[in-house]
């Protein structure tokens, strides 16, 4: 167990809908990262937050947004869902902003039907 908690584990929804994925980082970690992994694909970095502030942005669609709350948990909001958004979404956390080990959660598997 990495200490990073993601909920829900599975999510099934329809096209056009909106969902929220939740992540609680390891105790003491200030950075949260979100990744998208489509079937048999690599890790696509979406966005990073550090201590409540957006730190870095990757290939995140405009339909997606995220935030980190004062208690350091983070939420990833996906709206106007399309079939192609079906993927495994991972959250990771690290102590600082860079050059630190990232610990991954178990992921949320999103299926858009």
Least CB distance to another protein at residue 12 (A): 17
- Give the C-alpha separation, 19 to 61, whole Å: 14
**Number of Cα atoms under 13 Å in the Cβ half of residue 111:** 5
Which residue, 15 or 98, is less far from another protein as judged by CB?
Answer: 98
Helices (H) and strands (E) in the chain, counts: 0, 11
User: CA gyration radius for the chain?
Assistant: 13
CB 105, min distance to another protein, A? 6
* Residue ranges binding another protein (CB under 8 A): 2, 42-43, 45, 48, 56, 90, 97-99, 101-107
Least distance in angstroms from the C-beta of 100 to another protein: 8
> In the complex with another protein, which residue's Cβ is closer, 98 or 111?
98
């Amino acid at each position: 167990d990495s200490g990073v908690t993601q909920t829900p584990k599975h999510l099934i929804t329809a096209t056009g809908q909106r969902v929220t994925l939740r992540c609680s980082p390891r105790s003491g970690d200030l950075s949260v990262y979100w990744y998208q992994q489509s079937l048999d694909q690599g890790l696509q970095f979406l966005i990073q937050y550090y201590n409540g502030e957006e730190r870095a942005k990757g290939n995140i669609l405009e339909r997606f947004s995220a935030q980190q709350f004062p208690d350091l948990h983070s939420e990833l909001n996906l709206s106007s869902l399309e079939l192609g958004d079906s993927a495994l979404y991972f959250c990771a956390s690290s102590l600082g902003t860079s050059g630190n080990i990232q610990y991954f959660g178990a992921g949320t598997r999103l299926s858009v039907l």
